Amino acid sequence: MRYKNVLFDLDGTLTDPAEGITNALMHAQRRLGRAVSPREELFVFIGPPLIETFMSEWGLTRAEADQALVYYREHFGTKGLFENVPYAGIGECLADLKAAGLRLYVATSKPEPLSLRILEHFDLLPYFEAVAGSTMDEQRTKKGEVIAYALDTYALDPAETVMVGDRKHDVIGARENGLACIGVLYGYGSREELTAAGAAALAADLGELSALLKS
């Protein structure tokens, strides 16, 4: 087996968070006095750090983006985090990978406390050795920073570790830390996005992902 440790992204890789994230974004738009976007236009927010996406997509200043995050969390922290659906078969896939001897971790730009609540709510937490995420005060939000934190905190050898994610940020963050990244095509990143970022391999579904990780 090529890898011993697997870092999983959360949003778009383990669960489909579209409803909760977009509802929270719509809530933030209303609180900011902005027109509410069509839901599909907000999918670009799924995966990347929120502050930088508020600034790039909505043209907000850093101070305005900080306020948008406060409004976003008014909804997400109470309702939105559970407006979320684990991908069909993800529990069985994780159980199979653990049975094969792989050590599984979560590496997400989502705040660690919220990530733990989501994973616990959907009974996914027991599959993982640990969860590495950002902080509630928006420290360690870039995927490369999260991966570096996970490698250091849990003494993981980059040569024995692989990242699994659905967006270019997962691939780029992995490469910054000397890791390969397997891109999943059932999430929110396209084949073109993941390939251009340098994904080592692509998996169309959980079956292909499991086979790649166990090969």
Neighbours of 141 (CB within 10 A): 19
Catalytic residue list contains 9: yes
* Distance (Å, whole) CA 37 – CA 136: 26
Kindly state the tokens that stand for 132: 């590495």
* Distance (Å, whole) CA 84 – CA 11: 9
* Distance (Å, whole) CA 137 – CA 1: 38
Contact present, 193 and 167 (Cβ < 8 Å): yes
Kindly state the tokens that stand for 34: 């902005």
* Distance (Å, whole) CA 189 – CA 166: 5
Q: Which residues contact 213 (CB under 8 A, 6 or more apart)?
A: 3, 6, 97, 100, 102, 162, 164, 182
Q: If 0-12 CB within 10 Å is exposed, 13-18 middle and 19+ buried, where does residue 79 land?
A: middle
Catalytic residue among 9, 11, 16, 170: 9
Kindly state the tokens that stand for 123: 């009974």
Catalytic site positions = 9
